Structure 1
Amino acid sequence: MYKRKTQQFVQSSLESQAAVVLLGPRQVGKTTLALDIASERPSVYLDLEREADRQILTEPDLYLDEQAGKLVILDEVQQMPDLFRTLRGQIDQRRRAGFRTGQFLLLGSASNILLHQTAESLAGRVRYVEMPPLQPDEVGADQLNLLWLRGGFPDSFQAASDRASMDWRLDFLRTYLERDIPALGPRIPAATLRRFWTMLAHVQGGLLNAAALAEGLGVSGQTVGRYLDLLVDLMLVRRLQPWHENVGKRLVKSPKVYVRDSGIVHALLGIGTTEGLLGHPVVGGSWEGFCIEALLAAAPLGTEPFFYRTSAGAELDLVLRLPSGDIWAVEIKRTTAPKVSRGFHTGAEDIGANRKLLVYAGEHEVPVAKDIRALPLAHAIELLSAL
């Protein structure tokens, strides 16, 4: 079992808050992490996808009253939205009894649904922690290319072979499309949603062109927006917003779209080996998305990500506005010969970047220009983690 950084965040959050909501896509390791935390303290665990466990909460106050002083872990908590009003009363009651922190750990795989449910009922009583798939600094620099190929879902990454990893990811896609998404309510044909997901993988890191996607699927632009919202909500797709603070520039206003896990990108496109990936047209977009997810997982809580592009050609792959107010400009290239374009220099000047980095596929940190350094992904992760 890999030591997950998320576990430290969850444990420290439980020490200061009554409830913690752990968000992440299915199969990312949330339950394993929660049970590991549960092994260290008096706890109870309920999986709300199981009918037997839902029955236990038919009279939730009666059951939860008996668990006072224990950590109550509720998995797939979005399955019982009416429970949140009860949790609010339980938290307040326990506070009066002297149990102020570490009362509830709520696990969920649909972020907007959960955020909406908890924001109304648990305001001021809950902290949110997002759990990404395995990250480069969790598996080791020597495993970087394997992680990029297979993605960070633990069962995919740790599979006995590339073929077994691909089989796991194909089963994962099928289960999500045929069981998990319908269970959330949307009535979307599985074949249509898979085509949409695959179309996003083909243009990994490209600007969102809803009209082209709608035409390809034979649906309306509004329907495309609904499909995209769903995959973003399930934390399977990232919608990276454009930087919008330079009033005097003609800026691109469409977001960029990434399938968040590189292994899922490759499964959707039928890429099963490193050799096949390096020769595929998506290789640049795949590497860019992989690096962006790793950098955002390492960045301090509250960091805001953007990209920057003007009609005149100035472009930054990633802009990070840190909680301190500093702005980082990041270029990402799948190359061993580090070099930045004039558009990067212009873009970094436009946004007033405090730091300029080129993340590349080499092994050493080297200067590219007077104030720009090229560095491997692992070094960039270390810089952000140290903030």
Structure 2
Amino acid sequence: MIERRIASELEERIDSSPAVALLGPRQVGKTTLAIDIGKTRPSLYLDLESDAARAKLSEPELYLAQHADKLVILDEVHRLPDLFQILRGLIDSGRRAGRRSGQFLLLGSASIDLLKQSGESLAGRITYLEMQPIDGLEVVPNNLQALWLRGGFPDSLLAATDRASLRWRQDFIRTYLERDIPQLGPRIPAETLRRFWTMLAHYQSGLLNAAELARSLGVDGKTVASYLDLLVDLLLVRRLEPWHANLGKRLVKSPKVYVRDSGITHALLGLGTADHLLGHPIVGASWEGFVVETLIAASPHGTTANFYRTAAGAEIDLLITPPGRKPWAIEIKRSLAPKVEKGFYLACEDIQPERRIVVYPGTETFPMKNEVTAMPLWAAGRMLRDEG
């Protein structure tokens, strides 16, 4: 059992807000965490994918009112979008009765409908929390290699063998394409979306070139944008926006794109073992995406994440800006003897970051020239979490 860092924050939000929406991809551990929290207090769990649970909610207001003294956990809540209007009335009734927190915990796969409905009906009554796959700060440093290869979905990471892990991820991708995404609304041919997702894995950490992707798929640019928006909304792909400031520089304006879970990236590319991964051209970009996800997950609430690149070649892989602080400039290297290019130093002269860090796959922290510090991933993540 891997202890999830988000657990304490989720409990804190349940204790301070009438409704909490815990969003994340399927199979990331939302249900397990919610049931564990439910065991610590009076609670009711309903899986809305179950016919029996949906039958109980044929008269939702009457049924839920009977359990007003409990934390009601509604799993896959996007299956009943009309429920949000009912929840609004129940939350307001609970407030009038003096119960101002801990009424509902809503679990969803971050569907567009869920975000839209809850935003319209529960404004001021709900707080959102994103649950990501297991990240590099939730395993011991010795397990980082396995986490990078297999990704952070618990069943994939904890599989008995690399082969079993790869098979689980391939099944996960197929289920998402053939069952889950159609249930969430968009009617996109599964094979077309698979090709698009696989192309993004090949482009891992690269600048988005929508025109090139559109040509490869035989669709127009607007269709590519809609596919990308869908995968971003489902928390499967990250669109990292460029950092903008009035510096008198010609800045790159296209976002960088990452398949968020490294294990899914490798499954899309058919890379099932460490040897396959280390011998593939994607290895550096995959490591960059893995580091980006871990550091963003470790960042304090309210942190913004960007990258920086100018037409002249100044570049920073990741800019992390904690609330009220100057940016942290982070360069990501896959070498045990990392070397920093001139472009990073030039970019730091432009931005004047608070910290200059090179994250590399070694085990020691050591200083480099020009106030740059080389750090292992776990050390950089902990410093960001503790000092950010």
* Fold match (TM-score > 0.5): yes
Q: Structure 2: how far apart are the matches of 1:152 and 1:97?
A: 42
Give 1:246 deviation, angstroms: 3.0
Q: Structure 2: how far apart are the matches of 1:246 and 1:29?
A: 42
Corresponding letter in the other structure for 1:194: R
Corresponding letter in the other structure for 2:95: R
Corresponding letter in the other structure for 2:162: D
Conserved? CA contact 1:338–1:368, under 8 Å: no
- Give me the CA root mean square deviation: 1.0
Corresponding letter in the other structure for 2:148: W
Residue 185 (structure 1) aligns with: 185
Q: Structure 2: how far apart are the matches of 1:325 and 1:368?
A: 23
Residue 76 (structure 1) aligns with: 76
Residue 290 (structure 1) aligns with: 290
5 Å-filtered alignment, 1:192-211, equals: 192-211=192-211
Residue 113 (structure 1) aligns with: 113
Give 1:125 deviation, angstroms: 1.3
Matched, 1:154 2:154: yes
Conserved? CA contact 2:150–2:162, under 8 Å: yes
Q: Structure 2: how far apart are the matches of 1:245 and 1:111?
A: 32
Conserved? CA contact 2:81–2:113, under 8 Å: no
Residue 331 (structure 1) aligns with: 331
Conserved? CA contact 2:111–2:184, under 8 Å: no
Give the TM-score, by structure 1 length.
Answer: 0.98
Residue 32 (structure 1) aligns with: 32
Give 1:385 deviation, angstroms: 1.4
Corresponding letter in the other structure for 2:156: S
Q: Structure 1: how far apart are the matches of 2:335 and 2:232?
A: 29
Q: Structure 2: how far apart are the matches of 1:52 and 1:248?
A: 62
Conserved? CA contact 2:78–2:111, under 8 Å: no
Q: Structure 2: how far apart are the matches of 1:114 and 1:366?
A: 46
SS in 1 for 2:291: helix
Aligned residues: 387
Residue 385 (structure 1) aligns with: 385
Give the TM-score, by structure 2 length.
Answer: 0.98
Residue 235 (structure 2) aligns with: 235
Q: Structure 1 unaligned runs (5+)?
A: none
Give 1:54 deviation, angstroms: 1.4
4+ runs of 1 displaced by more than 6 Å? none
Q: Structure 1: how far apart are the matches of 2:249 and 2:384?
A: 29
Q: Structure 2 unaligned runs (5+)?
A: none
Residue 274 (structure 2) aligns with: 274
Q: Structure 2: how far apart are the matches of 1:114 and 1:283?
A: 35
Residue 346 (structure 2) aligns with: 346
Corresponding letter in the other structure for 2:158: Q
* Identical residues among aligned pairs (%): 63
Q: Structure 2: how far apart are the matches of 1:155 and 1:274?
A: 18
Q: Structure 2: how far apart are the matches of 1:138 and 1:353?
A: 27
Conserved? CA contact 2:18–2:102, under 8 Å: yes
Residue 65 (structure 1) aligns with: 65
Q: Structure 2: how far apart are the matches of 1:338 and 1:187?
A: 46
Conserved? CA contact 1:246–1:350, under 8 Å: no
Give 1:113 deviation, angstroms: 3.3
Corresponding letter in the other structure for 2:93: Q
Residue 91 (structure 1) aligns with: 91
Give 1:312 deviation, angstroms: 0.2
Corresponding letter in the other structure for 2:369: A
Corresponding letter in the other structure for 2:118: T
Give 1:112 deviation, angstroms: 4.0
Conserved? CA contact 1:246–1:351, under 8 Å: no
Corresponding letter in the other structure for 1:357: I
Corresponding letter in the other structure for 1:156: S
1:317-338 C-alpha deviation (Å, 9 max, x unpaired):
0011111232111100101112
